[in-house]
């Protein structure tokens, strides 16, 4: 059951708004439940005790796997394309995936993992990551996937914050020409994680790694030996399914917690309606399962809908910048979902790589993670979609669990640079600074008025921060942190973050986290980090750094490199500043607050548009910043 026409979209949108109980009760029936819910939805944005499908019971893996064994057992669920283009593809059918998941679930059980325990996963993009995620869900363990590009300290922080007792990792992961030494990094992290009792290690790159007696176990032989029978743990709809960390405006990332029932309905419903896959279509989402896009549109959405998908281990530019187009051609991908940063990056290599391949299998293109500029939209549409593929520009967040605003492929109209209209059940609101709702064609801050099934229920271990971050700016509303414009037809265009987060290549990073890392350097006394427009990444990271005047400093070039590497080591390579400017002081208000608005303007070369600087404690410093701007 899905929306098939624009008129039907209007009708469903209206129904979901006016009768959410009936609407979502009906949608939830597209899934298998062990016990029917008693109440579809409870709680609101004032009380914050949001619940969906209360008293319902289910296991999401029954919906992703068991359910398809009747008629799709031999259909391929996952086509694995390795980093090395010469490595043969691995096709995994629904039946094989089901068996592997059950085996891995038994391995976890044999290592003491029980319902409600947290398990951390730190792996590359191999089928075993997907299998392990589902194995956790099978036995009711709460998974927390940590992106393989994060550092040992970032991993340790996440393991400890969620209280994981088991870690699943790999010896390493190939990334283009390089290798990420996951087990080595995990070992340094584990020095600070006393609660981790067992580590399961998959072999991927066949390198020597240290194995700690009693703690570390090779996972592959354990899976081979394990039984392929594992009854699913019956979960309450509101039991936690996973925790995924996302940067926040303090140095510490937030562990967003999603629940079994609502998340399942949301991931399944949105995938079905946005992408409109038909029988024999092939889906490919290029994200990593370490980010929410991979959770919802690799791990869960496609499987909930019994789709066939490509899972890719590598990077877009290896062995050359034609890799994406080659893979589309090779597997006749019909639905391709990627990020604007990748599109802009690959566009820069010209059409030579695109034209070498047959992309005529493509029917639908997707964009996710950041605003897509008109030029990239047009290039994507014309050269990748051959002018015939609708583009679904999907706006959503780690917190929303799944797509919130998007065109429905081929059903509702797309519009360059607009993410278009909210899905049924998503009641958006544009507000001004005071929280007054703006009507019609307008620009303001983007809020959501009503709970939807996929909303993260809390920040793990910190309900106060959940309330403070999302519900305190405009009481009664969920504040997204984004600014947006709405056209006269009700289409939304996201203008970017309005808070202290920077969207770098589709990943949100907290400026505070990067500042904390810079401040750990012995010569640094203070720092301030802002975003600036970057042709490929969307936003680049610009760091202003004040050095300790009482110390000798090495030459600026070496120091910059050292600072940048330090951020890479502490947080992970994606957090490295693009530019570092050593400054004598930062512009501050009389109360000592850093004027970030000015720092952002300077970093963006908008020197004529600095606004009033007379209220600053130290207005003279602004000229100094401009004079030595990098």
Binding mask 473-502 for ligand WT7 (x = CB under 6 A): -------xxx-----------x--x-----
**Shortest Å distance, C-beta 422 to ligand WT7:** 13
Q: Which is nearer to ligand WT7, 109 or 507 (CB)?
A: 507
Centre a 10 Å sphere on the Cβ of residue 489 and count the other Cβ atoms it contains: 11
> Footprint of ligand WT7 on residues 549-578 (CB under 6 A)?
none
Tell me which stretch binds ligand WT7 (CB under 6 A): 368-376, 512-520, 579-587, 601-609.
368-376
In the bound complex, what is the minimum distance in angstroms from residue 260's beta carbon to ligand WT7? Answer: 20
Q: CA-based Rg of the chain, rounded to a whole angstrom? A: 24
Residue with tokens 């059409």: 351
Nearer to ligand WT7, 129 or 494 (CB): 494
- Closest to ligand WT7 by CB, 217 vs 252, is 252
Q: In the window 494-553, what residues touch ligand WT7 (CB under 6 A)? A: 494, 497, 503, 507-508
Instruction: Please report how close the Cβ of residue 371 comes to ligand WT7 at its closest, in angstroms.
Output: 4
Q: DSSP string spanning 297-310?
A: IIIIHHHHTT-EEE
CA distance 363 to 410: 9
User: Closer to ligand WT7 at the Cβ: 186 or 244?
Assistant: 244
Helices 152-162 and 556-571, interaxial angle, to 10°?
A: 30
42 three-class SS: strand
Quote the least distance from Cβ 542 to ligand WT7, whole Å. Answer: 18
User: What number of other Cβ atoms are within 10 A of residue 169's Cβ?
Assistant: 32
Count CB atoms within 10 A of the CB of residue 356: 12
Asked if 270 is part of the footprint of ligand WT7 (rule: CB under 6 A), the reply reads no
292 binds ligand WT7 (CB under 6 A): yes
In the complex with ligand WT7, the residue whose CB is nearer, 204 or 415, is 415
The 397-416 contact track toward ligand WT7, x by CB under 6 A, reads xx------------------
Cβ at position 399, least distance to ligand WT7 in Å: 7
Dihedral angle of Cα 8, 12, 14, 18, to the nearest 10 degrees:
150
Give the whole-angstrom CA distance, residue 296 versus residue 512.
28
Closest approach of ligand WT7 to the CB of residue 370, in Å: 5
Which of 293, 412, 473, 505 contacts ligand WT7 by CB under 6 A?
A: 293
Within 351-403, strands assigned E span 364-368, 391-394
Residues with Cβ within 8 Å of residue 583, at least 6 apart in sequence: 544, 545, 546, 621, 624, 625, 628
Residue window 414-433: x/- pattern of binding to ligand WT7, with contact defined by CB under 6 A:
-----x--------------
In the complex, what is the shortest distance from the CB of residue 65 to ligand WT7, in angstroms, rounded to a whole number?
24
Please report the beta strands in 55-113, taking only residues with DSSP state E, as ranges in sequence order: 57-58, 76-81, 90-93
Of 251, 222, 516, 312, nearest in space to 325 by CA:
312
Cis peptide before 248 (omega within 30 of 0): no
CA gap 336, 344 in Å, rounded: 15
Q: Find the shortest distance in angstroms from Cβ 470 to ligand WT7.
A: 11
Q: Which is nearer to ligand WT7, 200 or 298 (CB)?
A: 298
Write down the least CB distance from residue 169 to ligand WT7, Å: 23
- As a whole number of angstroms, the distance between CA 90 and CA 82 comes to 9
Q: Which residues in this chain contact ligand WT7 in the complex, by CB under 6 A?
A: 246, 291-293, 367-371, 393-398, 419, 480-482, 494, 497, 503, 507-508
């Amino acid at each position: 059951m899905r929306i098939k026409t624009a008129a039907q979209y209007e009708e469903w949108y209206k129904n979901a708004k006016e009768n959410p109980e009936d609407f979502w009760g009906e949608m939830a029936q597209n899934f298998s439940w062990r016990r029917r819910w008693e109440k579809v939805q409870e709680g609101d944005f004032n009380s914050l005790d949001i619940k969906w499908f209360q008293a319902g019971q289910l296991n999401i893996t029954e919906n992703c796997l068991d359910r398809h064994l009747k008629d799709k057992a031999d259909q391929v669920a996952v086509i694995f394309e390795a980093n090395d283009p010469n490595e043969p593809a691995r096709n995994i059918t629904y039946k094989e995936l089901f068996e592997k998941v059950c085996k891995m679930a038994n391995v976890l059980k044999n290592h003491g993992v029980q319902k409600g325990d947290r398990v951390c996963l730190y792996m590359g993009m191999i089928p075993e990551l997907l299998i392990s995620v589902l194995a956790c869900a099978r036995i009711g363990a709460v998974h927390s996937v940590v992106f393989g590009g994060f550092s040992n300290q970032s991993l340790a922080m996440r393991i400890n914050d969620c209280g994981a007792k088991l870690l699943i990792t790999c010896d390493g992961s190939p990334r283009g020409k390089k290798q990420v030494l996951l087990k080595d990094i995990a070992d340094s992290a584990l020095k600070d994680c006393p609660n981790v009792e067992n580590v399961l290690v998959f072999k991927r790159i066949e390198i020597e790694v240290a194995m700690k007696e009693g703690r570390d176990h090779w996972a592959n032989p354990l899976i081979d030996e394990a039984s392929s029978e594992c009854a699913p743990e019956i979960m309450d709809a509101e039991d936690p399914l996973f925790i995924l960390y996302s940067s926040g405006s303090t140095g510490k990332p937030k562990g967003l917690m999603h629940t079994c029932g609502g998340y399942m309905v949301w991931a399944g419903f949105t995938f079905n309606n946005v992408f409109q896959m038909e029988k024999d279509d092939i889906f490919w989402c290029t994200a990593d399962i370490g980010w929410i896009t991979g959770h919802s549109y690799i791990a869960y959405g496609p499987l909930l809908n019994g789709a066939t998908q490509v899972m890719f281990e590598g990077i877009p530019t290896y062995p050359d910048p034609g890799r994406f187009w080659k893979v589309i051609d090779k597997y006749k991908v019909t639905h391709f979902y990627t990020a604007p940063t990748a599109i802009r990056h690959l566009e820069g290599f010209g059409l030579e790589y695109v034209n070498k391949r047959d992309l005529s299998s493509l029917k639908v293109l997707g964009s996710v993670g950041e605003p897509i500029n008109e030029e990239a939209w047009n290039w994507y549409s014309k050269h990748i979609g051959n002018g015939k593929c609708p583009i679904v520009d999907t706006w959503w967040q780690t917190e929303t669990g799944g797509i919130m605003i998007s065109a429905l492929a081929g059903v509702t109209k797309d519009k360059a640079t607009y993410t278009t209209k909210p899905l049924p059940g998503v009641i958006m609101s544009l507000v001004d600074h005071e929280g007054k709702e703006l009507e019609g064609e307008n620009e303001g801050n983007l809020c959501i008025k009503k709970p939807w099934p996929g909303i993260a229920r809390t920040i793990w271990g910190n309900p106060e921060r959940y309330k403070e971050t999302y519900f305190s700016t405009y009481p009664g509303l969920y504040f997204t942190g984004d600014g947006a414009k709405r056209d006269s037809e009700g289409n939304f265009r996201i203008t970017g973050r309005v808070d202290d987060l920077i969207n770098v290549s589709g990943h949100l990073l907290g400026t505070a986290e990067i500042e904390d890392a810079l401040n750990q350097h012995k010569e640094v006394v203070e720092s301030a980090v802002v975003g600036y427009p970057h042709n490929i990444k969307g936003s680049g990271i610009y760091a202003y750094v004040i050095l300790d005047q009482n110390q000798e400093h090495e030459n600026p070039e070496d120091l910059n490199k050292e600072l940048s590497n330090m951020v890479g080591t502490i947080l992970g390579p994606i957090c490295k500043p693009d530019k570092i400017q050593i400054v004598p002081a930062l512009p501050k208000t009389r109360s000592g607050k850093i004027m970030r608005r000015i720092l952002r303007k300077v970093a963006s070369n908008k020197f004529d548009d600095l606004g009033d600087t007379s209220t600053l404690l130290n207005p003279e410093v602004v000229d100094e910043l401009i004079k030595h701007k990098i």
